[in-house]
């Protein structure tokens, strides 16, 4: 990891979780994940902490724990950094990860676009290679690409993990190229935890922005467990495609097939929001949709969804996206100044 990832300030070493700040004409990224307070009275080593237990979901309770986490993140980044690539398909930019020595690259379907398009892959050292987009499953937002290699040429690649073994609360490492590849900047590293994990979607609180899409999510062993898909609101509630979804449909992806839609089979409540409001005002309720059956009416302001505070319609969409068809969730709406509590069963989009 580049030395610039670290800074020293008043005797404190800072290894950060990405904070996003709007600068003039650009998005500045500052690393701020873990603060390690190192005193001259004591030294700490990774062996003093059970890093496996911590990364499995524990909360770091000491300087030793934090140092162990920092060291493990260092190890993972050193192992996988060269496998994370920036990708350019036409005017679109995103990220990807090399997962085989013969140049297969996992990414998101919306980064991939159509099969057969020309791709420019940008490696961390700034070197570029050409290749093609292969198959896409828009139903889960998975895409596959292939780098064109010379005979006998082999690439460094990342190992794949088992996304079904990922637990809620587990610490994970997100890497990508926020706002697209930038010359001289290494792939950006963020640390976070898993919020939900289902067969076709995983969510984390790793901070992501545009350009990260298609990049890899790693476990503490440096194995790819998911690919960045949809950026939520706020930026710390993001969706990823579990890596097992790629393996389950590998033959179709490798054969450049194109199928599915994110609008098909996903969670659905059947409302439209008011685009001119900064609240989750319900502008339309579709007849016989889950919201209609739950008693939601046009003009209601949805304030809580499954215990989560709803700030606007974008946050409502994020919360709905974390659910599965058939889930029953409590909701609260504000109607004529009165709070009304309802229960809704999530439907399936057809």
Mean pLDDT for 135-154 is 94
Q: Which of 48, 110, 233, 248 is catalytic?
A: 110
- Residue 97: the pLDDT is 99
- Residue 158: the pLDDT is 98
- Residue 26: the pLDDT is 37
Return d(Cα 326, Cα 349) in angstroms, integer: 12
> Sorting pLDDT into bands at 50, 70 and 90, what band is 84?
very high
pLDDT at 311 over 90: no
- Residue 234: the pLDDT is 66
pLDDT at 265 over 70: no
Which has more pLDDT, 204 or 275?
204
The residue ranges of DSSP E strands in 16-164, in sequence order, are: 19-22, 27-30, 34-37, 84-89, 92-98, 104-108, 118-122, 128-137, 142-147
Q: Is the dihedral of CA 309, 314, 317, 322 positive or negative?
A: negative
At 336, is the secondary structure helix, strand, or coil? Answer: coil
Q: Is the dihedral of CA 178, 181, 183, 184 positive or negative?
A: positive
- Residue 276: the pLDDT is 61
Tokens matching residue 96: 């990807």
Q: Which DSSP symbol is given to 158? A: P
The reply to whether 141 belongs to the active site is yes
The string of pLDDT tens digits covering residues 190-206 is 999 999 888 788 999 99
- Residue 12: the pLDDT is 28
Q: Which of 65, 141, 205, 300 is catalytic?
A: 141
- Residue 73: the pLDDT is 96
pLDDT at 41 over 50: no
The answer to whether 202 and 242 have CB atoms below 8 angstroms apart is yes
The reply to whether 233 belongs to the active site is no
- Residue 179: the pLDDT is 87
- Residue 34: the pLDDT is 36
Q: Is the dihedral of CA 142, 257, 247, 98 positive or negative?
A: negative
The string of pLDDT tens digits covering residues 219-238 is 999 999 999 998 765 667 78
Q: Which of 142, 213, 229, 245 is catalytic?
A: 213
The reply to whether 100 belongs to the active site is no
> Sorting pLDDT into bands at 50, 70 and 90, what band is 57?
confident
pLDDT at 17 over 70: no
> Sorting pLDDT into bands at 50, 70 and 90, what band is 61?
confident
* CATH code 2.30.42.10 region(s) in the chain: 267-348
- What's the mean pLDDT when you consider all of the chain? 83
Return the closest-CA partner of residue 118 out of 145, 136, 95: 145
Neighbours of 145 (CB within 10 A): 27
pLDDT at 348 over 70: yes
Mean pLDDT for 95-120 is 96
CATH class of the region 267-348: mainly beta
> Sorting pLDDT into bands at 50, 70 and 90, what band is 319?
confident
- Residue 89: the pLDDT is 92
Poorest-pLDDT segment among 83-87, 209-213, 216-220, 346-350: 346-350
- Residue 101: the pLDDT is 97
Q: In Å, how far are 49, 65, 263, 320 from 37, measured between CA atoms?
A: 16, 12, 47, 39
Out of 56-70, 99-113, 197-211, give the one with best mean pLDDT.
99-113
pTM listed for this prediction: 0.66
Mean pLDDT for 312-320 is 77
Q: What angle do CA 132, 98, 78 make, to 5 degrees?
A: 150
Which has more pLDDT, 25 or 312?
312
């Amino acid at each position: 990891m580049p030395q610039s990832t670290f800074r020293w300030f008043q005797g404190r070493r800072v290894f950060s979780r990405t904070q996003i700040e709007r600068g003039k004409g650009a998005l500045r990224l500052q690393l701020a994940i873990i603060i390690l307070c190192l005193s001259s009275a004591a030294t700490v080593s990774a062996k003093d902490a059970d890093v496996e237990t911590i990364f499995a979901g524990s909360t770091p309770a000491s300087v030793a724990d934090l140092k162990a986490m920092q060291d493990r993140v260092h190890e993972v980044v050193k192992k996988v950094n060269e496998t994370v690539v920036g990708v350019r398909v036409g005017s679109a930019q995103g990220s990807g990860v090399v997962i085989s020595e013969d140049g297969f690259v996992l990414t998101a379907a919306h980064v991939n676009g159509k099969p057969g398009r020309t791709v420019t892959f940008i490696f961390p050292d700034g070197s570029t290679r050409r290749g093609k987009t292969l198959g896409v499953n828009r139903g889960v937002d998975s895409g596959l690409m292939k780098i064109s290699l010379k005979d006998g040429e082999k690439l460094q690649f990342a190992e794949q993990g088992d996304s079904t073994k990922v637990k809620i609360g587990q610490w994970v490492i997100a890497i990508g190229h926020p706002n697209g590849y930038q010359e001289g900047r290494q792939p950006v590293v963020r640390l976070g935890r898993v919020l939900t994990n289902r067969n076709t979607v995983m969510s984390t609180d790793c901070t992501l922005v545009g350009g990260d899409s298609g990049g890899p999510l790693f476990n503490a062993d440096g194995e790819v467990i998911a690919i960045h898909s949809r950026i939520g609101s706020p930026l710390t509630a993001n969706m990823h495609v579990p890596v097992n979804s790629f393996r389950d449909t590998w033959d179709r992806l490798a054969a450049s097939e194109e199928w599915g839609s994110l609008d098909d089979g996903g969670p659905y409540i059947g409302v439209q929001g008011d685009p001119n409001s900064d609240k989750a005002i319900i502008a339309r309720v579709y007849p016989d949709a889950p919201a209609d059956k739950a008693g939601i009416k046009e003009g209601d302001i949805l304030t809580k969804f499954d215990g989560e505070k709803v700030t606007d319609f974008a946050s409502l969409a994020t919360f709905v996206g974390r659910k599965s068809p058939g889930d029953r969730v409590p909701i609260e709406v504000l109607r004529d100044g009165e709070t009304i509590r309802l229960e809704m069963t999530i439907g399936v989009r057809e």
